[in-house]
Amino acid sequence: MKSERLFAGLLWTVSMGVCALLVWIVVDLAWRGIGSLSIEFLTSVPRDAGRAGGISSLLISTMWIVSTATVVALPIGLFSAVLLAEGAQQNARFARLVRGSLDMLSAVPSIVFGLFGNAFFCITLGLGYSILSGGLTLACMILPILIRTIEEALRSVPAEQKLAASALGLSRATTLTHVLLPAAAPGVAVGLVLGIGRALSETAALIFTSGYVTRTPHDLLDSGRALSVHIYDLAMNIPGGNGRAYASALVLVLMLFVLNGLVRLAAKRFTKRLAT
């Protein structure tokens, strides 16, 4: 009993420490950047290398890049995870090779993905520095995380649910859509949140693919600067840009919170719809 209480206390201490770290980061960003945050900051384009104006064009570029990456990565990640979890034997050589490759890709530095995206999407496919090149590069980056997370969520579904579906005469496709996916929806949401979080915070890969210009993009083949790239530029290259860098970082964190909530809400609705 004493060891259990000690272990529980340790878990609570670690959990509170993580929460305190998050609160500290958000409060620090708000303290340093709230003075530069305004409606004009959110609705105007950058001027004077970011020292004046706002971040409206950067928000548009960021949302287009992240949306492109999500739309491309989600169906591929979901199909691949289903194949690994349900279609391949757990000890099959091919499945082990794929899982090992995904784990290795998860650890590849983002700059390597950026160089790959520049060489393949920008040059070989002729897409140039564009929103599409950046989104496709980010899709390649988040796929390993997305596939492994969804696979583990599918494999964690109790075997009794699969056996009950088989006993009722349900096909494998029906079992997947009405039993496995609703049960694994929270895991899918976690994978999406992790992927979107990495895509939102990515800098190095986007410098080489989506570009550096601050104008508002009109289509996916236009170049555009992501908000994370703008924060890096303000903090490292623009004298007097720290205040706006903190304000931009605060907006980025708030975007992540909002997207996190939207993904979790969509997962709950998706679960209810498939379960009925």
Hey, how many other C-beta atoms are within 10 angstroms of the C-beta on 123? Answer: 12
Predicted pLDDT at 118: 93
Q: What would the 3-class secondary structure string for 7-43 be?
A: HHHHHHHHHHHHHHHHHHHHHHHHHHHHHHCCHHHHH
Predicted pLDDT at 132: 93
Contact 230, 250 (CB under 8 A): no
**pLDDT for 122 beyond 90:** yes
Is residue 8 very low, low, confident or very high in pLDDT (cuts 50, 70, 90)? confident
Predicted pLDDT at 129: 92
DSSP structure string for 80-118: HHHIIIIIS-TT-HHHHHHHHHHHHHHTS-HHHHHHHHI
d(CA 87, CA 81): 9
pTM of the entire predicted model: 0.86
- Write phi, then psi, for 243 (nearest 5 degrees): -60, -45
Is residue 88 very low, low, confident or very high in pLDDT (cuts 50, 70, 90)? low
The arithmetic mean of pLDDT across residues 257-269, rounded, is: 78
Predicted pLDDT at 39: 86
Predicted pLDDT at 50: 76
Is residue 184 very low, low, confident or very high in pLDDT (cuts 50, 70, 90)? confident
**pLDDT for 89 beyond 60:** no
- Domains and their CATH numbers in the chain: 37-275 (1.10.3720.10)
The arithmetic mean of pLDDT across residues 255-276, rounded, is: 74
